[in-house]
Amino acid sequence: MTTSAWDNSSDIQAAGMDLELVNVFCYLGSYIAYNRSCEKDVKVRIGKAATIFGKLGKSGRTTGSA
């Protein structure tokens, strides 16, 4: 992925191979977008948090006094 400031449309190569240009990719667990939007990253993080909280509720823990 290149930034929106990249005006050169020539292909980028590594080890003699052309690299695929993408609009969004995941790097170290965070989604990075060409248009600098963080919408996908936020949605993924909310989804992961909702999954964990859902599992916590099913753990059998009860609230209240003993």
The predicted-structure confidence for 1-58, as pLDDT tens digits, reads as follows: 555 566 665 677 888 888 887 888 888 988 888 787 888 889 999 999 999 998 887 7
CB 11 within 8 A of CB 18: yes
State if pTM tops 0.75.
no
Buried b (16+ CB within 10 A) or exposed e, 4-26: eeeeeeeeeeeeeeeeeeeeeee
The domain segmentation of the chain, as residue ranges, is 13-57
Residue 60 pLDDT class (50, 70, 90 cuts) = low
